[in-house]
Amino acid sequence: MIDLFSKELRGISTFLKIYYREIVVLTSAVLFPVLSKYHLVWNQWFSSLLYYTVLPVLVIVFLLRRSPLDFGLRFGNCSLWGFHVLIACVVGFPLLYIASRCPSLQSYYEMEQFILWQYALITTLIIFAWEFLFRGFMLFGLKERLGQVSILIQMVPFVLLHIGKPELETISTVVMGMYLGYVAYRSNSFWPAFIIHLFINISFVTFVNML
């Protein structure tokens, strides 16, 4: 019994040492969104920045002992991601307008007072935080060991966080989560995912409330 207990302890210890980085990244990437749901700090945009950007950066610096720049904050291959951003915007613009006519999406995103600049500012902060957590911290935190599988892994919590939103939107995040992860992975930067996600959100909400 004692020998078995000691053997299992050594096994657990070895597992923790070998996969330390992946354990820290995955635990943080799951824990921080959960905390943000149960413990709102001040308002939505501040909580998003705190839980999805500030805390992950602290984890990177103090637990992983790496530079935050290694987690997608560099500009990477600008020519490659510039191509993806251009295509996504050109193709997405008419599709977003069509989707904005969907009654279930309209009822969810209609606002009594829609001020574009104010909405754009707040949304920029929130989406920056979301994208850094998934296409920055999580993707690049897992990329070194797991390679392209990290694209699929980061998509899962991204989709789950959309539960409660309209069904069509939640389902679409499966594809978008993989695509944004792929673009970030290929271009070695989270910035294209941030720009594409921001474009989609602001364009769509503007169509719903101003057209």
Provide the pLDDT for residue 2. 82
Determine the pLDDT at residue 3: 82
Closest CA to 187 of 126, 118, 139: 139
pLDDT band at 110 (very low <50, low <70, confident <90, very high): very high
How far, in whole angstroms, is CA 101 from its chain's centroid?
26
Q: What is the pLDDT of residue 172?
A: 96
Torsion of CA 53, 78, 162, 59, to 10 degrees: -20
Instruction: Please tell me the distance from the alpha carbon of residue 47 to that of residue 33, in angstroms, as a whole number.
Output: 10
- Region class of 14: left (phi > 0), else alpha (psi between -120 and 50), else beta: alpha
- Domain extent, residue 201, equals 2-210
Nearest to 71 by CA among 54, 55, 50, 57: 57
* Per-residue pLDDT band at 17 (split at 50, 70, 90): very high
Total number of domains in the chain: 1
Q: Which pLDDT score is estimated for 100?
A: 96
Q: Which residue type sits at 70?
A: D
